[in-house]
Each structure stands twice: as structure tokens, then as C-alpha cells.
């Protein structure tokens, strides 16, 4: 089955006072109909810009965008603003990290949902309200008929994010882009929200593009994973492959830096050394080489291509396949010894 959303060789640059920021640098991704693609990476890896660009929200005077974003074969990047607006919110919806700042503080929650409906469909105010209430019911908000008259500041973080999800899904979009949907929430609420997204996804057959820095979130929800670093996809594959047999040193670092409960509390956290690179003057060759423990001379000069290492597993790294397997096995043994 053809993917509902295809991103082909997407480049996004922003002109800023300090120079040209290469935020997204040749990203290609497929999102299967009804599937969940997790994009994981540090801040500044280009994951959010990728999501915003799909929505057309990076169409700014200082932005240059190239490539293709195909929704059922139609290239969104070539669409006129007005045409794109019809798709935005209706066929692709988005939820964001901080539900308090993402809801308008001066309007009631119900009004904001009704507005999303009326932006795309000619319905009576009464019908819009009924659908807003129905949407709130579907995100398991108790007594939604009263909830519509509440202001965002009167709600808890979890309730606000539920309202955002209701607003995003009220028109039954094909694609939901969730940009760090649980990052601002309490841990217990995080799990509820992820479960809610998953169950609504099954019900409405919505494909989800889940953007997060948290591999734990990815592990719980995604079927496919793309690891991004400095504006590029460095590794991509099915969830199990990425978790069980990752082949990129950056992915190893991400997996090993997750705090664990099954090791002694005295064990030190293992961060990836260094900080994310500048996107104005990215490092030569492989962008990860300055932080890579396994760096080789060729990494500094030659850019590794994203190549298949397995049927559906793509990796951008100069290390040989045997080398990668050897190192990953070593890391796993070390891990086992620690716990």
C-alpha cells in the first residue's frame, strides 16, 4: 500500500543574522497509512522543522524549502497558500509540546475546537458545538458538555493536551503530526496521552508522525523509527531493528543514555559527549564525527550516504557492517555486566 505521506529529499534553510541555518538537509521519509513513524533526535536535529514544513508552517520570508512532501501523491510544497490551508487542519493536523501555550488563553476550549471545524466545513454553530462536544468525549474528557465552556487556564496539563488532540482529530485527518506531545506533561499523564493517541489512531486509521527526543516514547508507540542528527536522517528502520540491532554510533549513544531502573543507583548516566553541532557551520564529512567515539580519518572528509544495511534498515555510517555488529555486541555485554 502506498504511504499516505512521503517526504522526498527535503531541504529547509533559514537566513538569519548569523548566517544560513541548514535546518533540514536532505530528509526522505515514508509514513504508512495508519502507521506511526517516530522521529527521534536532540534539539536542533531538524525533527520539528520537518514536521512544521509538512504543515507549511515554515513558509516564512527567510526560509528556503526544496524537495517534495507528497500527501497521497500531491506535493504540498508546490501548493498555493490557500490550497494548503484547506489541507492544514483537515487532512493533516498537528499537536504541540506545551498545550497551555498552544491554546489561545482568551477563548473557551469549545470555541477553539468549533473554529477548527468551521474553518473547513459549512456547519451551523449548533452542529459545530455538538461535534466539538463529541470530539471531547472521544478523548475521554468527563462531562464534555460543560468542558466546552472552560478556558485553557482552568484545566490541568493532561486535559489541555486532550483538548488539543480533540481539536486536531475532530475533522478526521489522515495524518497527525505530534511534536513532543508528552514532553511538558507529568510522567503518569504522558502514558495516558500516548495510549489515547494510539487508540484514536486505531479507531480513525490516522497515521501519526511522532516527533520526540525520548526514545522511551518511541519504543512504546512507533512502528518505524528515523533517527535524526544535524538535519539528516542517520538511521532508519522498523522499531525492533532500531532497538535490537542499531548500527549508528549516535543511535547507540541515544540508547545507552536512557536512565535505567535496573542498574545500581550509583551507576553514572552515560551522556553522548559534546553538544549538537552548529547548523550554520556544520562539521565536515559526517556531521557526527566530532562526537563519535569510533571516528575514522575518512569520517572527517567524506559524507556517509544513507544506505540499506538490511532490507528495510538504512544507516549513514562509514563503519563496516562487521565492525558495527562487533561494537554493538560489546556495548550490550558491558550493559549486561553493569546490571
Partner 1 sequence: MTRYLVRRLLWALAMLVAVSALTFLIFYTFPSADPAALRAGRQATPALIAQIRHQLGLDQPVYVQFGTYMKDLVLHGDLGYSYQNNVSVRSEIFSRLPATISLTVGAVVIWLAIGIPVGVISAVRPRSKLDRAVMGASLVGISAPVYFLGLIALFLFASDIGRVHLFGGAGSYVPLTQNPRQWFSSLVLPWFVLAAAFAAFYARMVRGNLIEVLGEDYIRTARAKGLSERRVVFRHGLRAALTPVVTLAGLDIGILLGGAVLTETVFNIPGVGRFAYDAIINSDLPAIQGTVLFGAVFIIVANLIVDILYAFLDPRVRY
- Does residue number 89 form part of the binding site for partner 1 (CB under 8 A)? yes
What is the per-residue binding string for partner 1 in 41-80, x denoting contact by CB under 8 A?
Answer: --------------x-x-----------------------
In the complex, least distance from residue 153 CB atom to partner 1, rounded to whole angstroms: 5
Interface with partner 1 includes 98 (CB under 8 A)? Answer: yes
Binding residues among 160-189 for partner 1 as defined by CB under 8 A: 164, 167
Tell me: does residue 103 bind partner 1 (CB under 8 A): yes
Least distance CB 56 / partner 1 (angstroms): 8
Tell the smallest beta-carbon distance from residue 91 to partner 1 (Å).
9
CB of 233 to partner 1, least distance (A): 24
Print the binding letters for residues 107-146 with partner 1: x by CB under 8 A, - otherwise.
--------xx--xx--------------------------
Q: Which is nearer to partner 1, 104 or 326 (CB)?
A: 104
d(CA 161, CA 309) in angstroms, rounded, equals 39
**Near partner 1 by CB under 8 A: residue from 47, 90, 131, 162:** 90
* Residues of this chain that bind partner 1 (CB under 8 A): 55, 57, 81, 85-90, 93-94, 96, 98, 101-106, 115-116, 119-120, 151, 153, 164, 167
Amino acid at each position: 500500500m502506498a504511504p499516505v505521506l512521503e517526504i522526498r529529499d527535503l531541504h529547509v534553510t533559514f537566513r538569519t543574522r548569523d548566517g544560513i541555518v541548514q535546518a533540514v538537509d536532505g530528509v526522505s521519509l515514508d509514513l504508512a497509512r495508519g502507521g506511526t513513524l517516530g522521529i527521534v533526535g536532540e534539539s536542533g536535529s531538524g525533527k520539528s522543522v520537518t514536521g512544521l514544513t509538512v504543515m507549511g508552517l515554515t513558509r516564512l520570508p527567510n526560509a528556503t524549502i526544496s524537495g517534495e512532501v507528497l500527501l497521497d501523491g500531491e506535493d504540498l510544497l508546490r501548493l498555493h497558500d490557500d490550497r494548503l490551508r484547506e489541507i492544514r487542519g483537515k487532512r493533516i493536523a498537528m499537536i504541540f509540546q506545551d498545550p497551555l501555550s498552544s491554546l489561545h488563553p482568551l477563548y473557551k476550549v469549545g470555541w477553539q475546537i468549533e473554529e477548527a471545524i468551521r474553518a473547513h466545513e459549512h456547519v451551523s454553530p449548533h452542529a459545530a458545538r455538538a461535534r466539538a462536544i463529541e470530539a471531547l468525549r472521544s478523548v475521554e474528557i468527563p462531562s464534555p458538555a460543560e468542558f466546552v465552556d472552560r478556558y485553557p487556564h482552568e484545566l490541568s496539563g493532561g486535559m489541555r493536551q486532550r483538548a488539543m488532540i480533540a481539536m486536531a482529530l475532530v475533522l478526521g485527518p489522515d495524518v497527525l503530526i505530534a511534536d513532543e506531545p508528552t514532553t511538558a506533561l507529568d510522567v503518569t499523564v504522558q502514558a495516558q496521552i500516548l495510549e489515547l493517541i494510539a487508540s484514536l489512531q486505531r479507531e480513525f486509521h490516522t497515521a501519526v508522525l511522532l516527533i520526540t527526543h525520548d526514545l522511551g516514547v518511541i519504543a512504546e508507540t512507533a512502528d518505524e523509527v528515523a533517527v535524526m542528527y544535524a538535519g539528516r536522517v542517520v538511521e532508519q528502520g522498523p522499531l525492533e531493528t532500531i532497538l535490537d540491532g542499531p548500527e549508528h554510533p549516535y543511535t547507540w549513544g541515544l540508547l545507552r543514555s536512557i536512565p535505567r531502573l535496573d542498574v545500581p543507583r550509583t551507576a553514572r548516566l552515560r551522556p553522548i559527549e559534546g553538544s549538537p553541532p552548529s547548523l550554520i557551520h556544520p562539521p565536515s564529512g559526517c556531521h557526527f564525527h566530532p562526537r563519535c567515539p569510533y571516528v575514522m580519518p575518512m569520517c572527517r572528509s567524506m559524507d556517509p550516504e544513507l544506505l540499506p544495511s538490511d532490507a528495510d534498515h538504512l544507516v549513514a555510517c562509514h563503519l563496516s557492517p562487521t565492525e558495527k555488529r562487533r561494537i554493538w555486541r560489546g556495548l550490550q555485554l558491558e550493559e549486561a555486566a553493569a546490571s
